[in-house]
Amino acid sequence: MTTHGEQARDGLRARGAPPTRRPELWTPQLLAKVEWRVQSAAIPFRGLSTKDGPRPGLYPLTGTGVDGTGLRRAAEDYLAALTARERAEGRFVMHDVSWRHWANGARYFLRHGLCLEDLDEKKRELALEILRRSLSDAGFGQVLDLMRLNLTVGELRDETDTLNEWLYWFSIYGEPEKGRPWGWQLDGHHVNVNCVFVGDQMVLTPTFLGAEPVTAEGGKYAGTTVFRSEEALAQQLFSSFEADQRVKATIDDVLPEDLFVGAFRDNFELNYEGIPFADLTEAQHSTAMDLVDLYVGRANPGHAKVRRDEVLAHADETHFAWVGEADGAFYYRVHSPVILIEFEHQAGVMYDNDTPTRRHIHTIVRTPNGNDYGADLLRQHHERHHHQRHHHQKRSRE
């Protein structure tokens, strides 16, 4: 019997995937990894939760007042510029399972959509314009810097054919031109951003961003550096704690092997740990919110404010958890009913260090309790419009 992994492999071959981007040798171990990922993504989406299960009613379907006209127009311009074949490869229905196939690794056996490297400069710029309008200047700049650092590691390893700034796959979902829910996904090594629009509401999760190295000491983008604010503010917060606060915040003696809620962990259960924001001093609470703002502020200013207000409404239920030394390698987590942020210093992958250092960082932002990928908003949208259609049909029969 053909496995899901073998089907995925054959599908990639059928699309003529360049050998530099796909494994030439599909070992049993690699097929097993693909099989596990495909099966994980096929499990019905529930969302992150605690052991008590998903908490309902956190994400009302409402208006935000944020004007999304320019965003929709940018998506329409991009789609109009594509050939029929490119649209067929780079556009998906809103509930396509490929949303959940993102992964931060450098190998490309489950990528989908259109690779930015394959697009001409005009089409690539139209794709980037969608990102630019969805994100803040800081958020857009950070994504570009991470893509550039991917070239840096390619230069260091002399592997720029498989590690470069444009080896990222871009996909459009839904029907922006019809005013219906839609979204986009950018997927590649250390950059995985999922963005969904329902009416004028936006959900920008899951968003995984990472880098190795975090600073380009040479090459085309020498001087580029990332994550220093995310690192420094958390360090400042933990260093400000009194002894009893450090005890509450510290959840382990050893850094976890990786982020708890990374790729293919859409339904992961994670309980609240660490020190509640309610136990912080006023100054510490301000620092903690400044830290949250670094992640929330990746969105464009209008949607970032909506998101910040959402997080603030649950401030007393928010926890800060910590592992490690403030002056060394560390892990931290911010966790509430409506946001989950993880940051960790990692061991080497492109480098050969076996212990975590500050030159390899992973981060992720999630929307717990069922609204990653805008899933809860989409559910409410479809229920509302199904009810309206049913009511209209009933009135018509009468």
Q: How does DSSP classify residue 274? A: S
- What does the pLDDT read at residue 352? 86
d(CA 180, CA 177) in angstroms, rounded, equals 8
* Verdict on whether the full-model pTM lies above 0.85: yes
**Parallel, antiparallel or unpaired: strands 191-198 and 182-188:** antiparallel
First to last CA, the chain: 53
Could you tell me whether strands 182-188 and 275-276 are parallel, antiparallel, or unpaired per DSSP bridges?
unpaired
CA angle 207, 211, 212 (to 5 degrees): 155
Residue 298 to residue 291: CA distance in whole angstroms: 12
Q: Are 233 and 240 in contact (CB under 8 A)?
A: no
Helix/strand/coil for 320: strand
Cβ-in-10-Å burial (0-12, 13-18, 19+) of 165 comes to buried
For 97, residues 6+ apart whose C-beta sits below 8 A from its C-beta are 41, 42
The Cα 91–Cα 178 span in angstroms is 14
- Dihedrals φ, ψ of 253, to 5°? -95, -20
Integer Cα distance of 187 and 98 in angstroms: 11
Q: What is the pLDDT along the chain (398 residues), one digit of tens a residue?
A: 555 545 544 444 333 344 346 667 778 988 898 899 999 999 999 999 999 999 999 999 999 999 999 999 999 999 999 999 999 999 999 999 999 999 999 877 789 999 999 999 999 999 999 999 999 999 999 999 999 999 999 999 999 988 999 999 999 999 999 999 999 999 999 999 999 999 999 999 999 999 999 999 999 999 999 999 999 999 999 999 999 999 999 999 999 999 999 999 999 999 999 999 999 999 999 999 999 999 999 999 999 999 999 999 999 999 999 999 999 999 999 999 999 999 999 999 988 889 999 999 999 999 999 999 999 999 999 999 875 554 444 455 45
Lookup: tokens for 242:
């009194």
Please report the pLDDT score of residue 395 as a whole number. Answer: 53
Residue 14: its pLDDT value, please?
A: 39
339 in helix, strand or coil? coil
Q: What does residue 351 show for φ and ψ, rounded to 5 degrees?
A: -95, 175
Contact between residue 378 and residue 202 where contact means Cβ atoms under 8 Å apart: no
Token couple for 188: 């590649």
Q: Where are the domains of the chain?
A: 1-40, 228-374
Total count of residues recorded for the chain:
398
Task: Determine the Cα angle at 9 with ends 90 and 143, to 5°.
Answer: 45
Residue bearing tokens 């990928």: 373
* Predicted local confidence at residue 6, as pLDDT: 53
Tell me the three state secondary structure of residue 262. Answer: coil
